[in-house]
Chains A and B, each alone.
Chain A
Amino acid sequence: MVNYLAATSALDDVKHVINVLCEPHWFLIISVVALAVFLLKYRTVTKPAVAGTIGALCTLAFLVSCLDSNFVKIVTKADNVPIVMMMVLVGFLLWLAFRQAALNDERMERGEPLREAGADDKVLVWPDLVYIELIALVLCTAALVVWAIVLPAPLEQPADPNVAPNPAKAPWYFLGLQEMLVYFDPWLAGVVLPGLIIVGLIAIPYIDKNPRGNGYYTFKERPFAISTFLFGFVILWVVLIIFGTFLRGPNWNFFGPYEFWDPHRPAALLNTEFHDLFWQGLLDRRLPEHFLIRELPGIVLVVGYFVVCPVLLKATFFRRMYLQMGFIRYNVMAFLLLMMMLMPIKMALRWMFNLHYVVGITEWFLNV
């Protein structure tokens, strides 16, 4: 009995630590570090023994977590189940891809042909491919039918425009965008940034002039392209979806995975504007009357970010890339990259200074 109590209270301590580590800043930092370690040490991490251990530990942590009722409630919510599956698949497939990349990179160093090599090695589509497709199709159908039997599709109360649920969430695949709403005004989070994601994706093949790594798994030959893409996909898309589905509760507050979703916790207050920090904090003066002058420092900062950074980067880290890409490509790439980095930058500013807007021209709905 005593032992049992001691054990549960120890477990509660662990849960508490995990709840704290799941606060957005910790969670994001940990994810970024994990991704960085994965990319830097991909040859070691993807060795079957290491990867298997990590996978087993994650499974174990998940199973133990399922002892907690708050955790179970949130991961078994019908519409959240696909996200758990997605996390598993993303993890597994990243391993698969980087395992092959590691093998290929080692082969290239030894001067051996790639795993995918042999352009003349052709097989007939019938039967080799057609049968694979058939099997995949049957397995997929079976999985889908089981899924449909086990998990009923959710149907809540009939729509009622007068009763807003709390929290009101967009469909899960848009929750990354809804998370951006925490940090940006809707014109950026809901319109400009999603639009730029689409434009940026389409632009990728026209920006990336690196001729190597075409048609096979490798990391060594294109580290920048792959790291940038994975930062966007894993951190700014998948992790933000995890935030949105599992960790955002009533009043869009953050709740740890083992925390009860308390609807009475008040929404976070945001009251620090950059113009306050600048005029009152830094210069110790009253806010200027005219809003354009009031916002001038913020505007300078934002414009400066987009103008100075590309020039600086060109002279330092991206020198070789600039030569390879040329003026237009380089600047398009730099613009898209800086746009993407706006999100983590704004997140960090929010966590450090509780900053609301850098530029706050509320008069024109022009807030950044």
Chain B
Amino acid sequence: MLGRLGNWVREGQIWGSVFRHGVPRDRRTRAMAILSNVFLHLHPVAIRKSGIRLSFTWCMGGLTFFLFLVEVVTGVLLMFYYRPTVEYAYFDIEGLRAHVTLGLLRELHRWGAHAMIIAIWLHMLRVFLTGSYKPPREFNWSVGVILLVLTMLLSFTGYLLPWDQLAMWAITVGSNMARATPFVGYEGPGAAFIQIGGVPLVHAGDDARFGLLAGTFVGPNALLRFYVLHCVFIPLVVTVLLGVHFWRVRKDGGISGPL
């Protein structure tokens, strides 16, 4: 009965218009299943046997990507409830747990972010240990390192948003370093030499940390700035680079293996 219903659906016009191939039961239709779907087409049609073994890739690249998607979905939902101002930020987060159905969102988003960081490190470790950065994959490794940095910056900018003591002081500790950037931080080596007629050009009100925080301390401007970086700018760049990364995995000959 169910089988008949299934066949009827799969032979109808609607199904046929979405999936332009029969049930993936033989070689041809299975290849079509990958080729005619924009998402699955990230994959090649066939892949070396060692490449899909869990013990080879640990599935860590895939999990990193999946966790990124989790972050995007839960992040968008969080944006419905959160206002990036000093008056509201903390209480919006507090209210999220108390008043919002499925207030679990914030937990998913936070632990997902931690998990993504761990997954990306482990992905890098496996790529290194299998020597998969060697030619022809050198460039994709470099793209990966940029992704690594951006992922950590995503986490860092997000850490501030709950606007509690933990958040503010962690960002204070982190951003204080920028003060010491050589030449462009006002407590950095060389900054004192950048002056015109004895007037220092690099000071607390215009140095690298000021650029990061839009102020001399972690205040409302920093909150807004981190919010925009966290929700818009960095995710966009990461998305583009992920496209490059996946494209290159395929163009460099798929998952690496001995020649």
Contact = CB atoms under 8 A, between A and B. Distances in A.
Contacts of B176: 186, 190
Given A122-B48, A124-B31, A82 B180 contact: no
A119 interface: yes
Interface string B164-191: 1111111011101111111001011111
Interface in A190-231: 190-192, 198, 201-202, 204-206, 208, 210-218, 222, 226, 229
Contact of B52 (A128, A159, A205): A128
Nearest to A82: B114
A178 interface: yes
Interface in A239-258: none
Interface string B135-150: 1011001100110110
B interface, how many residues as a size bin?
35 or more
A46 to B, nearest CB: 13
Interface residues of A, number: 93
B118 to A, nearest CB: 5
Given A155-B162, A186-B180, A191-B177, A124 B45 contact: yes
Given A116-B50, A190-B177, A216-B131, 19 more contacts: A90-B122, A125-B34, A129-B43, A136-B59, A140-B63, A153-B107, A163-B165, A168-B173, A186-B176, A186-B177, A186-B179, A186-B187, A187-B185, A191-B177, A201-B148, A205-B137, A213-B134, A214-B135, A222-B131
Interface of B: 24, 27, 30-31, 33-34, 40, 43-50, 52, 54-56, 58-59, 62-63, 66-67, 70, 86, 90, 93-94, 97, 104, 106-108, 110-112, 114-115, 117-118, 121-122, 124-126, 128-135, 137-138, 141-142, 145-146, 148-149, 152, 155-156, 159, 162-170, 172-174, 176-182, 185, 187-192, 217-219, 256-259
Ranked 8 nearest A-B pairs via Cβ: A190-B177, A148-B107, A215-B256, A186-B180, A205-B138, A159-B168, A116-B50, A187-B180
